[in-house]
């Protein structure tokens, strides 16, 4: 496409960036995107999605899905460029970049509609940051008849024009936990009359650190981080209860199960030492983002026609794109969006992407959608 096309897309991204909306509140974003897609004469499917939507180009089988997430984060932006957000939310993870690239891909694919050997399904997905959007799309039939799905996340540590791929695990399975410890409150002068929930919590937290360091193979990546402790409110009172929360990250189903089982066992056994009661709450979080072993090398080779393709190490961050990959073959890439050594990382309040990276992202969608339709059309024949 022409330089004017990508300059237009950059302006679209700037507009989206200036008006971010947090997860499950993407009402104006959805309206803007639907209007854009409708003006391209692309059909929008009827669903019960409150935000986000699904559209289609082409007809018949096979069906290949392209996914972009549309939500922002509750972060106050500190960038000073003229399109910086001023509403208290921020596209600090680059979802403005993702949805803009899918808009650009949609325009190109619509122009090629008569040559498509099947259907391209466009998924503008809400609520990725709270790990429920992909499940909402699936519940609304987003994967019906789909042979494969592709997506990506921008990655500021790669340069524009670079694509990172790997077969198997590319992003971690995420576990979010909240552990409540309770007992009998009492006077700090007579701890023997009550339950020392402060000591119970701090001992549990210390004991948990042995799980990864002493029970997981050093050749198997895993993370356990306690990030928040809340217990007590007075200097001379032993509190009745308190809690701590945090996250675990893993790259295989076996390791994830081991982490959860060990986590539970250590917490219950340590609590028993202090005559305390415990409850564990697990949040709804992404499973392992696992790239299809057959399709990923094919996508990598096809992408070499328009980008520099690198094999990357897996990231310990999570992605609800994993929900799609549990159902059908999927390929998830990392697309370079900055490349400067000092560039802000994902979720930072000065995060930004370079508009010049849009071209590679659009090509990733377009070229691989056409490639996969041709690939699966052979099976249809």
Q: How confident is the model over 182-212, as pLDDT tens digits? A: 999 999 999 999 999 999 999 999 999 999 9
Give yes or no for a contact between 33 and 126, defined as CB atoms under 8 angstroms apart.
no
Give the CATH number of domain 173-282.
3.30.70.360
Q: Who's near 45: CB < 8 A, 6+ residues apart?
A: 53, 54, 55, 56
Annotated binding-site positions: 93, 95, 129, 153, 347
* Structure-token match 């309770």, residue found: 182
Question: How deeply is 88 buried, as exposed, middle or buried, from its count of CB atoms within 10 A (0-12, 13-18, 19+)?
Answer: exposed
Bridge partners (DSSP) of residue 277 are 182
Confidence at residue 228, expressed as pLDDT on a 0 to 100 scale: 98
Identical fold at 3-171+288-380 and 173-282? no
pLDDT band for position 87 (50/70/90)? very high
CA distance 352 to 13: 11
Confidence at residue 378, expressed as pLDDT on a 0 to 100 scale: 86
The answer to whether residue 169 scores a pLDDT higher than 70 is yes
Q: What is the mean pLDDT of residues 40-46?
A: 98
Alpha helices in the chain (DSSP H): 3-18, 27-39, 95-111, 133-139, 197-208, 210-215, 253-273, 295-303, 322-325, 358-380
Q: How many helices (H) and strands (E) does the chain have?
A: 10, 16
Backbone angles phi, psi at 188, to 5 degrees: -65, -20
Give yes or no for a contact between 292 and 331, defined as CB atoms under 8 angstroms apart.
yes
Rg of the Cα atoms in the chain: 23
The answer to whether residue 120 scores a pLDDT higher than 70 is yes
User: If we measure between CA atoms, which residue out of 174, 153, 167, 173 comes closest to residue 291?
Assistant: 167
Q: In this predicted model, what pLDDT tens digit does every residue of 141-159 receive, in sequence order?
A: 999 999 999 999 999 999 9
Confidence at residue 1, expressed as pLDDT on a 0 to 100 scale: 73
The answer to whether residue 380 scores a pLDDT higher than 90 is no
Confidence at residue 11, expressed as pLDDT on a 0 to 100 scale: 98
Annotated binding-site positions for Mn(2+): 93, 95, 129, 153, 347
What 8-state DSSP symbol labels residue 218?
T
Question: Average model confidence (pLDDT) for the chain?
Answer: 97
Confidence at residue 381, expressed as pLDDT on a 0 to 100 scale: 60
The answer to whether residue 323 scores a pLDDT higher than 80 is yes
- Domain definitions of the chain by residue range: 3-171+288-380, 173-282
The answer to whether residue 215 scores a pLDDT higher than 70 is yes
Q: Does domain 3-171+288-380 have CATH number 3.40.630.10?
A: yes
The answer to whether residue 177 scores a pLDDT higher than 70 is yes
């Amino acid at each position: 496409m022409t330089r004017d096309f990508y300059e237009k897309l950059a302006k679209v991204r700037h507009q989206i960036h200036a008006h971010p909306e947090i997860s499950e509140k993407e009402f104006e974003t959805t309206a803007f995107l639907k209007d854009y897609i409708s003006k391209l004469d692309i059909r929008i499917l009827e669903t019960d999605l409150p935000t986000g939507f699904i559209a289609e180009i082409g007809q018949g089988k096979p069906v290949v899905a392209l996914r972009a997430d549309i939500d922002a984060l509750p972060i106050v932006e500190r960038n000073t460029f003229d399109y910086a957000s001023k509403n208290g939310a921020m596209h600090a993870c680059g979802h403005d970049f993702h949805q803009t690239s899918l808009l650009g891909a949609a325009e190109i694919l619509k122009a090629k509609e008569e040559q498509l050997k099947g259907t391209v399904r466009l998924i503008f997905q809400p609520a990725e940051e709270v790990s429920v959007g992909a499940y909402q799309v699936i519940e609304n039939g987003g994967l019906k008849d789909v042979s494969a799905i592709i997506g990506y996340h921008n990655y500021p540590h790669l340069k524009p024009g670079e694509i990172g791929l790997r077969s198997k695990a590319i992003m971690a399975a995420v576990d979010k936990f909240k552990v409540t410890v309770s007992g009998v409150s009492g006077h700090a002068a007579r701890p023997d009359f009550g339950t020392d929930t402060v000591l119970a919590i701090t001992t549990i937290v210390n004991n948990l650190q042995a799980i990864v360091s002493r029970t997981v193979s050093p050749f198997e990546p895993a993370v356990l981080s306690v990030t928040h402790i809340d217990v007590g409110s007075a200097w001379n009172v032993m509190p009745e209860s308190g809690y701590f929360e945090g996250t675990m990250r893993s790259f295989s189903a076996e390791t994830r199960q081991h982490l959860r089982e060990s986590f539970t066992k250590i917490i219950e056994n340590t609590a028993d030492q202090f005559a305390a009661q415990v409850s564990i709450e697990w949040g709804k979080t992404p499973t392992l983002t696992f790239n299809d072993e057959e399709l990923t090398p094919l996508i990598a080779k096809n992408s070499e026609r328009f980008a520099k393709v690198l094999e990357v190490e897996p990231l310990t961050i999570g992605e609800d794109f994993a929900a799609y990959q549990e159902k059908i073959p999927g390929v998830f890439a990392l697309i370079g969006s900055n490349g400067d050594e000092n560039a802000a990382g994902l979720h930072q309040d000065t995060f930004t992407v370079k508009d010049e990276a849009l071209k590679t992202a659009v090509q990733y969608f377009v070229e691989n959608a056409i490639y996969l339709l041709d690939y699966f059309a052979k099976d249809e024949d």
